Structure 1
Amino acid sequence: MIRRYFRKGIEADDKADASPVTIADREAEAAIRELLAAHAPGHGIVGEELGRENEGAEHVWVLDPIDGTKAFITGKPLFGTLIALLHRGKPVLGVIDQPVLGDRWVGALGRPTLWNGSPARVRACAGLSLARLSTTGPQYFPPAAARAFGAVASRAKLLSYGGDCYQYGLVASGSIDVVVEHGLKLHDFAALVPVIAGAGGLMTD
């Protein structure tokens, strides 16, 4: 569904927070919700585009149909679909799916993370001076956080920009060592937690 809109010149609308949303975002989330209604009735859903329902349930799915909509509408295959399952508020299952490149990371509590069906593992890195550091973009940091990020980035061996959720998959499979972001919401990070943990990594605020 998402692939058929990629690089097709579709228009984007502005949400209340000025972030973009497209027909691909809305249709993808609607399709996931339809599947959940059929296979997980009674579970709650928190979606970035279509709101919340039954969010007090023991099991709640958290959906971000296109994490990285700006990358999507500018034709860069660095976005992804994020799907998480919370059990009593704790992320126990996470999926990062990049439909154009065909990459998928699946993490489940207590199990090794899989990257395209094979075990994924973070890269051994002895310290920040040897680390490959990434962030979506410096423009997302307010002044105080930007200074803190700059202090960290200045000590890293390599700094790269861009990637949204895709960069976390690359942490899990050993291409990136550290990702630093600011202001992530539940739909931005819930799926990432089991993926990173199952690959031997750590997420922290």
Structure 2
Amino acid sequence: MSTPARLADAIAIAEAARPVALAHFRTHLGVEFKSDESPVTIADRGVEAEVRRMIADRFPDHGIFGEEHGIEGEDSDDLWIVDPIDGTRSFITGHPLFGFLLAKLHRGRAELAVVSIPPTGEVFSAEAGQGAFLNGSAIHASGRTDAEGAAVYVNEGEKIWRAHPDVFARLMAFGKTRRLSCDCYPYGLLAMGHVDVVVDYDLQPYDYHPVALLVAEAGGVITDWEGSPLGMGYGVPVVAAATPELHAKALAVIRGQ
């Protein structure tokens, strides 16, 4: 099956997942906490179960790696990565910018990605070498190269402040406009050209692979804090920027150079 057809399937899967999540949004549902203190709800598990069923029906020979149910078929050349609710803390507190993340990797390289924001109806998509889109319309990063006028979003600010207070302090003086943020939506804003830099911390493969392809196909740059490409590591710190020049400046700030 061609990649464009698979992207259409990925978008259809995201659209099917949307009502499953919204059925539980802003309701009084139980919350459990996993061993790493991250919350999980019936919505997380329900969305992932539905997505796994749909992927297995369409691509029975592909592997699936989901946040809640782990990896099946990890030896397959084709692996789907799923974060059923990216931003469970946002979800359980009624914040409407949680997301649904889906990416398909072939031999470790992302071929397509979907970043859906269920409450707003925004569906970001990207295909390797084909660009980035919002609800079917092409989008592009800002092209900004200077740090002085940059809009900088810092995800997981509390974690960065606790683990690297020196980095956090430097980030709070970087750019023109700064916002403490969370989850996947800032990457969509970067891909649309509204935000110039996103700094993030402690991400897993299902957190970063979908947004990484979106940023790259919108013309941006995304790496870990060492400037290395994103692989399949856990607890990865990430920095994304609209251009290579601005990305280099963000890396320098993180490194204290």
- Same fold, judged at TM 0.5 (above): yes
- TM-score normalised by structure 2 residue count: 0.77
Tell me the equivalent position of 1:96.
115
Residue 11 of structure 2 is aligned to residue 2 of structure 1: no
Tell me the equivalent position of 1:32.
51
Distance apart, 1:144 and its partner CA: 5.3
Structure 2 distance, partners of 1:126, 1:142, is 26
Pick aligned residue for 2:126 from 103, 107, 112: 107
Q: Structure 1 residue runs of 4+, over 6 Å off?
A: none
**Aligned residue type for 2:96:** P
Q: Map 1:172-191 to 2 at 5 A.
A: 172-191=191-210
Tell me the equivalent position of 2:223.
204
Distance apart, 1:153 and its partner CA: 3.2
Distance apart, 1:146 and its partner CA: 3.4
Pick aligned residue for 1:124 from 128, 135, 143: 143
Q: Encode CA deviations 1:117-158: one digit per residue, 9 max, x unaligned.
A: 100111131311111111223212165533223213312111
- TM-score normalised by structure 1 residue count: 0.96
**Aligned residue type for 1:112:** G
Tell me the equivalent position of 2:230.
none
Query: What residue ranges of structure 1 are gaps of 5+ in the alignment?
Result: none
Secondary structure in 2 aligned to 1:133? strand
Q: How many residue pairs are counted as aligned between the two chains?
A: 205
Would the aligned equivalents of 1:47 and 1:187 in 2 still touch at CA under 8 Å? yes
Would the aligned equivalents of 2:103 and 2:112 in 1 still touch at CA under 8 Å? yes
Structure 2 distance, partners of 1:137, 1:165, is 11
Structure 2 distance, partners of 1:150, 1:107, is 34
Structure 1 distance, partners of 2:207, 2:43, is 17
Pick aligned residue for 2:214 from 170, 189, 195: 195
The 3 A distance-change label for structure 1 pair 136 and 155 is closer
Q: Encode CA deviations 1:16-75: one digit per residue, 9 max, x unaligned.
A: 111000000000000000001100111011110011111121000010000100000000
Sequence identity of aligned pairs in percent? 39
> Relative contact order, CA 8 A, sep 6+: which one is greater?
1
Would the aligned equivalents of 2:161 and 2:168 in 1 still touch at CA under 8 Å? no
Structure 2 distance, partners of 1:121, 1:79, is 22
**Aligned residue type for 2:134:** W
Distance apart, 1:9 and its partner CA: 1.9
Structure 2 distance, partners of 1:184, 1:109, is 22
Structure 2 distance, partners of 1:189, 1:98, is 16
Tell me the equivalent position of 1:160.
179
Pick aligned residue for 1:43 from 53, 62, 65: 62
Structure 1 distance, partners of 2:161, 2:67, is 23
The 3 A distance-change label for structure 1 pair 146 and 87 is farther
Pick aligned residue for 1:83 from 102, 117, 121: 102
Residue 90 of structure 2 is aligned to residue 63 of structure 1: no
Structure 2 distance, partners of 1:118, 1:14, is 38
Give the number of the structure whose residues are more often helix, by fraction.
2
